[in-house]
Structure 1
Amino acid sequence: MKLGKVIGRVVCTQKLEYFNGLKLLLVQPIDEHQQKTGDPIVAFDAAQAGEGDLIFYETSKEAGWALREWFTPADAAILGIVDHLDGGGITQ
């Protein structure tokens, strides 16, 4: 699993049936020191996250496993919200 921060929402007028009822959020990948580790990605939200939340997510085929219909074209899924981060001497 990977660590990220929700930095925004993605609004689209059309999407595949697989994603009906799911929020699409913009996620900034970060490391344990909360430093950016790459470009932002779009992930569907399976954890009811919101803007500013520290989250953990999965990519690739594992992302689809968060849905009832697991064989989907999903590239990334938010699987949980981080309550506390204690790593590298930094506590949140």
Structure 2
Amino acid sequence: MKFARVVGRVFCTRQYESLDGKRLLLIQPRDWETGEDKGDPLVACEVVGAGASEDVVWVAAREAAVAFPDVPPIDAAVVGIVEGRVAKDFRKKR
């Protein structure tokens, strides 16, 4: 899973049939530790009711389509809303 912030919504006048009724969000990937933007924004289908300016977790590739019962042709899906985060390295130091 990856970390991002919702920066907008995407509306399509025509789309693939299995995308009907699904919300499309514009998300900006971010670095988990620093919270800084990371890369270009992308469009993701969403299943959790995320809204503008919320931090979210998202999945890419085949895992994105599995979040939906009808397995639509998508390669990014928002699957969680982040309520809080801890940016600390918990790995053991040797």
Q: Common fold, TM-score beyond 0.5?
A: yes
Q: TM-score, normalised by structure 2?
A: 0.88
Q: TM-score, normalised by structure 1?
A: 0.90
Consecutive unaligned residues of structure 2, counting only runs of 5 or more, are 90-94
**SS of the counterpart of 1:44?**
strand
1:38-67 deviation digits (Å, cap 9, x = unpaired): 100000111110010000000101100011
Consecutive unaligned residues of structure 1, counting only runs of 5 or more, are none
Q: Using the alignment, how far apart are the partners of 1:20 and 1:34 within structure 2?
A: 33
Give the equivalent residue in structure 1 for 2:61: 60
Please identify runs of 4+ aligned residues in structure 1 that moved more than 6 A.
none
Give the equivalent residue in structure 1 for 2:46: 45
Q: Using the alignment, how far apart are the partners of 2:67 and 2:16 within structure 1?
A: 16
Q: Using the alignment, how far apart are the partners of 1:17 and 1:84 within structure 2?
A: 36
Question: Per residue, is there more strand in 1 or in 2?
Answer: 1
Please identify the structure whose Cα radius of gyration is greater: 2
Q: Using the alignment, how far apart are the partners of 1:5 and 1:75 within structure 2?
A: 17
